[in-house]
Amino acid sequence: MKNSLKVAKWEFKRNMTNKSFLISVFMTPIMIILFSFLPSMISGGSTSNGMTSLSNPRLLPGIVSGSIFLSVLLTGMLIFQSASQEKKEKVAEIILSSMEPHELMQGKIIGYFLLGVSQVFIWLFCALPFLMWKLGLDILKYLFVPKTIVLVFIALLGYFLFAALLIGLGATVEDVTSSSNFQGTIMMLPFSFSLFILPVLEEPNGMAATIGSYLPFTATGTLIFRLSLLEVWPWGEIIGSICLLLLTSWVCMKVAGKIFKVGILMYGKNASPREIWKWMRA
């Protein structure tokens, strides 16, 4: 665990001193706020008319957990790039001379988790004061409620699921530009929840929304979006979805560990689906 924490610290410091990362972190809340208020600014209407949905206190926990899920998607891509880059540059071979593969993988997951948490705190620090002033709401009063805890927990489960998936995939790819259709499809799984956005908007308690809440790779995004729209939560479905996410995250961690152990030290080509299947069964 000591080696994992060293890796986590190194990954965190490396990204927090990266200029492009810092620019993206601070620009994201600015762009979100700008595009949120842009319609009312262009129309010349009052803020209250243009921001009715944001001023609904019931949506605030969903907005915060949605921000966390956005951070999950961004850090997931970063952890994939980190694994594939270190594999390509043969940095992993040097690092693994002093630690076990599972320690390196755990360290990366922890490091990018801390990075994502810091990212969300920066977003909230930038956005909340402005929104409190502009909307005239005591936002903090509506954030510190039990529903926020549930939504944040769902978002965090999504992080560990997708982090395991993408770090394992990153270890199989030496050249991202020449990755196979199989690997490209796996990379799109974190965004698959978007298939259920329209059905959830039309009927949050409908069959499609329920199915999306139970599919492991769509459950996180679908649940956050769906629960933000509902006044009465279907707790039975929520508990079932969370249990399924916990189980899937645990399985993905185990499988990713097997893939990462072999794939990170394989050079010269991207792994084929047959090779990945062989590593998973080992």
Q: What is the pLDDT of residue 47?
A: 47
pLDDT at 176: 67
Q: What are phi and psi of 243, to 5 degrees?
A: -60, -40
pLDDT at 50: 46
| pLDDT tens digit sequence for 218-271 | 999 999 889 888 888 899 999 999 999 999 999 999 999 999 888 888 877 788
The DSSP string of 101-166 is HHHHHHHHHHHHHHHHHHHHHHHHHHHHHHHHHHH---HHHHHSSHHHHHHHHHHHHHHHHHHHHH
- Give the model confidence (pLDDT) of 141-157 as tens digits: 767 778 888 988 998 99
Weakly modelled stretches of the chain, pLDDT under 50: 46-52
- Cβ partners under 8 Å of residue 17, min gap 6: none
Q: Where are the domains of the chain?
A: 2-281
